[in-house]
A = this chain, B = another copy of it.
Amino acid sequence: MHLTCVHIYVKKDFVEEFIVATRKNHTATRKEPGNTRFDIIQLENFAQKFVLYEVFESEEAAAFHKTTPHYLEWRDTVQDWMEQPRQGVRYKVIEPNDKNLW
């Protein structure tokens, strides 16, 4: 499993547009055969901060995602809406240890 938390800090005036664009990316990403999860979550007490909880079956599936039209469109669409460069943080999965439970 390949898990990344992508931390994103969006400019105040672009929060709604960011959600629309990221939902579109979410829908298409969930259809990739190697994608396991793609949760979009928003900090409860600070609406400009988001985390994308991205889980892929393998390193290869995560790399493939970055070549897809929906990812590239999302990346180009949102790039000027961020207060600072987004930050991807890689994690090892401890549980669920069974791929079928994801």
Which A positions have Cβ atoms within 8 angstroms of B? 3, 5, 19, 22-23, 26, 38-45, 50-51, 53, 89-96
Task: Check A90–B45 contact: CB distance below 8 A.
Answer: yes
The A interface is mostly helix, strand or loop, or mixed, namely: strand
Task: Check A44–B95 contact: CB distance below 8 A.
Answer: no
Task: Check B26–A91 contact: CB distance below 8 A.
Answer: no
Q: Which residues of B contact A96 (CB under 8 A)?
A: 39
Q: Which residues of B contact A50 (CB under 8 A)?
A: 94
Task: Check A26–B92 contact: CB distance below 8 A.
Answer: no
Set B22, B42, B94: member contacting A40, Cβ < 8 A: B94
Set B39, B42, B43, B92: member contacting A41, Cβ < 8 A: B92
